[in-house]
Amino acid sequence: SFDIETVVDIVSAHRTPEKLMDFGTNAHRRGFNVIVAGAGGAAHLPGMLAAMSPLPVIGVPVKSSNSIDGWDSVLSILQMPSGVPVATVALNGAKNAGILAAQILASQ
């Protein structure tokens, strides 16, 4: 509804690590300005992208079939080490992640 061009891709920190490396290190060169990454279970994707990319990353913890009511995803995304920030929205909070991404883009 904000008329913002988006790219949707499926990338996994565990199943497609080479694709993750390529995406994370080249997203800013491809013209992206912010990354929204949903992750369930161990939820490594947002943090790994933040470690590789200079772009702001918004993590969406997802309650998945292999999660502990989604709390493992929430904590994995929230507890990033100093120097590797990931903005985190509520469990299954993709709508808020999209709005936050639009706000980041509007401030540029």
For the chain, which residues make up each domain, given as ranges? 17-107
CB atoms inside a 10 Å sphere around CB 96:
13
What confidence score (pLDDT) does residue 66 get? 83
What confidence score (pLDDT) does residue 68 get? 87
Q: Distance (Å, rounded) from C-alpha 81 to C-alpha 1?
A: 34
One-letter identity of residue 54: P
Is the separation of the CB atoms in 88 and 74 below 8 Å?
yes
Give the pLDDT confidence of 31-68 residue by residue, as tens digits: 999 999 999 888 899 999 999 999 999 999 999 888 88
Q: Topology of 17-107 in CATH?
A: Rossmann fold (3.40.50)
Q: What is the pTM of this model?
A: 0.94
